[in-house]
Amino acid sequence: MSGGALVIINADDFGYSEGVNAGIKKAYEEGILTSTTVMGNVVSPDAFLEGLENKSGLTKSPLSHGVHLNLTYGKPLVQQVWNGLEKFSRPYKEVKDGKEWKGSAWKEYFGRFDKFAVERELTAQVEQVEKILGPVDHLDSHHGVASYPPIIDVYEQLALSLHLPLRPISPLSEEDIYGGKFEFDLGYKDHLRQKGIKTVDYINMSYFYTDSDPVASFCQLLSSLKSGEVAEFMFHPAIDDSQGKWRLTDLEILTSDRTKQTIKDNNIRLTTYAESAH
């Protein structure tokens, strides 16, 4: 049996909706969640994460939060640098010609973005999250937009200037499937560490809800982790299906007694980027 892995369980999209926010809080209080990343351009000024009570029976730190850097949803915070753009959109949204979820198409789309505008917007998103929720402990990106130039350059510059860890990039594959297939860049963690940026050893962005037994699939992966490995698993829990029924499945995985028992059986330590990124 493997044991001793350090595992960050992150919920993306805090700020997306009330149901998403409530699902994230529930996944921390009653489940294995340790971290969330906040969408700075849509999060409500009234949002809060303080005072959540860990009732899961597992030893965990307070819920940490990072920034889910976002250029594909909601209104820009710095509209003047986007030439009057009213809202961001996912590249080729609902275009049925093989581009909607294809990595090369997304690279071409984001390649047209102005680096100065990206820098201004993403900096503003970090500042907004810190203003509302306090200091952040890492950066990642909505839809993996930080995987593509010129965004990737800004992503790394922000991490260096703010002394924050980064989630490794996961660009889309060339498979045009709904929701996209994100591929963890195995070499990127070494690139970051050479630049002095902390990160994790492994990230899993699987859609467990597509499996016949999502909880079993997740538990199997947990059991296979190596001792001492720092791993992140990404989820999108919610308490309602307003943003998709699959988010309810993610919440079920994170609060399942079977999941909690697997954590205990494999001597896994639940952690955060602030505690364990290296």
3-state secondary structure the chain: CCCCCEEEEEEEEECCCHHHHHHHHHHHHCCCCCEEEECCCCCCCCCCCCCCCCCCCCCCCCCEEEEEECCCCCCCCCHHHHCCCCCCCCCCCCCCCCCCCCHHHHHHHHCCCCHHHHHHHHHHHHHHHHHHHCCCCCEEEHHHHHHCCCHHHHHHHHHHHHCCCECCCCCECCCCCCCCCECCCCCHHHHHHHCCCCCCCEEECCCHHHCCCHHHHHHHHHHCCCCCCEEEEEECCCCCCCCCCHHHHHHHHHHCHHHHHHHHHCCCEECCHHHHCC
- Confirm whether 13 is domain-assigned: yes
- Confirm whether 254 is domain-assigned: yes
pLDDT in 10s for each residue of the chain, 278 residues: 445 899 999 999 999 999 999 999 999 999 999 999 999 999 999 999 999 999 999 989 999 999 999 999 999 999 999 998 999 999 999 887 889 999 999 999 999 999 999 999 999 999 999 999 999 999 999 999 999 999 999 999 999 999 999 999 999 999 888 889 999 898 999 999 999 999 999 999 889 999 999 999 999 999 999 999 999 999 999 999 998 999 999 999 999 999 999 999 999 999 999 999 99
CATH code (residue 158)? 3.20.20.370
Sequence letter at residue 20: V
- Confirm whether 166 is domain-assigned: yes
253 is in which domain, residue-wise? 6-276
- Confirm whether 38 is domain-assigned: yes
Position 1 scores a pLDDT of: 42
Tokens of 92: 């080729």
- Confirm whether 209 is domain-assigned: yes
- Confirm whether 1 is domain-assigned: no
Tell me: cis bond preceding 150? Omega within 30 of 0 counts.
Answer: yes
Position 179 scores a pLDDT of: 87
Question: Closest by alpha carbon to 28, among 3, 8, 47, 6?
Answer: 8
Q: How many domains does the chain have?
A: 1
Strands 230-235 and 139-141: unpaired
Enter the pTM of the model: 0.96
Position 232 scores a pLDDT of: 98
Position 3 scores a pLDDT of: 54
Position 102 scores a pLDDT of: 94
Tokens of 9: 């369980």
